[in-house]
Amino acid sequence: MALTNNKNVLKWVDEMVALCKPDQVVWIDGSDEQLKGLRDQAIATGEMEALNEEKLPGCLLHRTNPNDVARVEARTFICSREKENAGPTNNWCDPKEMYAKLTPMYDGVMKGRTMYVIPYSMGPIGSPLAKVGVELTDSIYVVLNMDIMTRMGKQAFENLGETSDDFVRGLHSKADVDPENRYIVHFPEDNTIWSINSGYGGNVLLGKKCFALRIASYQGWKEGWMAEHMLILGIENPQGEVTYVCAAFPSACGKTNLAMLVPPEVYAKQGYKVWTVGDDIAWLKQGKDGRLYAINPENGFFGVAPGTNMKSNPNALKSTMKNTIFTNVVKNLDDNTVWWEGLDKNPPEHALEWTGKPWNGKTSTEKGAHPNSRFTAPAVNCPCISKEFNNPEGVPISAMIFGGRRAKTAPLVYQSRDWKHGVFVGSTMASETTAAATGAVGVVRRDPMAMLPFCGYHMGDYFQHWLDMGEKLGDKAPKIFNVNWFRTDDEGHFIWPGFGDNMRVLMWIVDRCKGKADAVETPIGYEPKPEDINLEGLDIDVETVKGLLNVDKDLWKEEAKGIREFYGKFGDKLPKELVEQLDTLEANLNK
């Protein structure tokens, strides 16, 4: 039974049903009754396992195929009509060619299966910033995850109305989960995403990176707003005023930890609080008052489990305690709960590792949970979720923060001189590889605005779009900062304590936004005076902070060379303003 009279939706669903030939079609209305039926069905077939109802109420465990455990960048395509529009950082294929290749794969792929039609809203229902998607899938796992990650069900069609064609068409089939024929393909001009032969979240929850970043970044470029790989958090002072910031970091740089930060005692006892609006994606649009406003288009957290614990991220862990789906973690057979590396020091003796084979954490040398194992948890579970989480207008952003892992180059924090310089800082963002990633340690990987794998169009145009947004916002534009929690001493130990203590740096950023803190000019931008970072309760001194803020000109000259080489990729699409910024940096370093 269709949930909408929108002719564009109905026509497209009919076409896809004719192509995939499912045995039956079920429209997902989002009702508790329907979802309970699907959960029961998934448990009955063994696709999902119910966990301990007392300790983890409403929680489920799922295992993906061992060949299907992460996003596959080599199999992810941006099929814009002109190759030029995909740019040098995306895989491109002519859309006609890609449709011709994939259509036979979908032909009859759902025979013997059910097609679920999932209407969903990215962003609060009724928000002027929200967008509608419809995902067709043959996976109950997808339906149950989309229920957590989006506003799913018939109310999603409210924003669309009866005549609009502005919805993202998502087609997904697990097919045979064949890695050789796995494709995650975006057709930006057609508002369409096709995903086949995967069952892993990042490839199949099409509202997430596929829509909310790759397609939405393209839409934002065309419509004059921004879709960014950024957390959104609010810092509330003892007087009850909240300052909102966005921050972008490449993976493994503590984004979720920062989004759900627990204030250190020095601030907590004064009455400071930190509120989470989003941990991964921000959609940003100019508001009526000229400022930039952000919503989190998502409704849940799709977090990496290993390393999440009561010290690293208590709020994330508490978010997983009910109605959460765990993927590829350890199952503790003693009490039917879950475990992963870094959760605590007590691996279970009687357990199944992530593939479902017997595992004894006390004796095994193998890891029990997959390094990319996940939890999908409802945002409403988070103890520090912002009361503005569902505000249709979003929250006003005062600062944008970039960061990465740099052992020696980037200081603890610096501020850009202005918006253009801030775009330069974001466009040159980089992280050094850690041992976990590859054999070579310390290789600099550039990841502009943490968007390298997620920008749905030419990155040169993307940089220009940032510059244009700055023009539009004028003096109402957020201030732009760069942070680095990962400076190391000569033995390779981190100097800055990180985690909740990162709030000490955020406080200087907030004070700069309010015109309350001084700064010192350096060749790379404005830095705090070392004594302006509050160290109360820490066992590091002002001299250490001075070292963390040190700008080593020789290292930065090397950095500038690396930036020039990286910029070469973008050819004549690279905005000249960014070349000018690089020239200024080099001139400052040579003074």
Kindly tell me the sign of the dihedral angle through the C-alpha atoms of 517, 523, 524, 529.
Answer: negative
Q: Find out whether 499 and 257 touch, Cβ atoms under 8 Å.
A: yes
Q: What is the mean pLDDT of residues 179-198?
A: 98
pLDDT tens for 523-549 read: 999 999 999 999 999 999 999 999 999
Annotated binding site: 71, 200-202, 209, 229, 251-257, 280, 372-374, 405, 499-502
Q: What is the tens place of the pLDDT at every residue in 308-327?
A: 999 999 999 999 999 999 99
Q: Does residue 157 surpass a pLDDT of 50?
A: yes
250, 362 contact by CB (below 8 A): no
Question: Which residues, other chains included, contact 581 with Cβ-Cβ below 8 Å and sequence gap of 6+?
Answer: 420, 421, 423, 424
The binding site for Mn(2+) comprises 209, 229, 280
What are the binding residues for substrate? 71, 200-202, 251, 372-374
Measured CA to CA, the distance from residue 303 to residue 9 in angstroms comes to 31
Structure confidence at residue 93 (pLDDT): 98
Contact criterion met (CB below 8 Å) for 280 and 229? yes
Please report the sign of the dihedral spanned by the C-alpha atoms of residue 273, residue 277, residue 279, residue 280: negative
User: Could you tell me if 139 and 174 are in contact, meaning their C-beta atoms sit under 8 angstroms apart?
Assistant: yes
Alpha-carbon distance of 411 to 108, in angstroms, equals 56
The single residue listed with the structure tokens 């740099």 is 406
What is the DSSP pairing of strand 242-248 with strand 395-403? parallel
β-bridge pairing 76-78 and 183-187: parallel
Amino acid type, 237: N
The mean pLDDT of 373-394, rounded to a whole number, is: 98
Q: What is the CA 22 to chain-centroid distance, rounded?
A: 32
Confidence of residue 437 (pLDDT cuts 50, 70, 90): very low
Rounded to a whole number, what is the largest CA-CA distance in the chain? 72
Start-to-end CA span in the chain (Å): 71
Question: pLDDT tens-digit profile of 490-525?
Answer: 999 999 999 999 999 999 999 999 999 999 999 999
Q: Distance between CA atoms of 209 and 202, rounded to whole angstroms?
A: 7
Task: Map 396-414 to HEC letters.
Answer: EEEEEEEECCCCCCCCCEE
pLDDT category at 252 given cuts 50, 70, 90 is confident
Residue 86 — very low, low, confident or very high, per pLDDT cuts 50/70/90?
Answer: very high
Q: What is the three-state SS of 506-517?
A: HHHHHHHHCCCC
Mean pLDDT value across the chain: 96
| pLDDT tens figures, 256-307 | 999 999 999 999 999 999 999 999 999 999 999 999 999 999 999 999 999 9
Three-class SS state of 98: helix
Active site residues: 253
Answer yes or no: is pLDDT of 172 > 70: yes
| SS3 state of residue 297 | coil
Whether residue 435 is predicted with pLDDT greater than 70 in this model: the reply is: no
Residue range 396-406, pLDDT digits in tens: 999 999 999 99
Average confidence (pLDDT) over 2-25: 97
In this prediction, residue 82 carries a pLDDT of 97
Domains and CATH numbers, the chain: 7-48+72-224 (3.40.449.10), 228-299+387-590 (3.90.228.20), 301-380 (2.170.8.10)
pLDDT digits (tens, 9 = 90+) for 104-119: 999 999 999 999 999 9
CB neighbour class for 333 (10 Å; exposed up to 12, middle 13-18, buried from 19): middle
> Predicted confidence band at 438 (pLDDT cuts at 50, 70, 90)?
very low
Q: Is 302 helix (H, G, I), strand (E, B) or coil?
A: strand
Annotated binding site for GTP: 252-257, 374, 405, 499-502
Question: Residue 365's pLDDT is what?
Answer: 96
pTM of the model: 0.97
Q: How far apart are CA 511 and CA 272, in angstroms?
A: 14
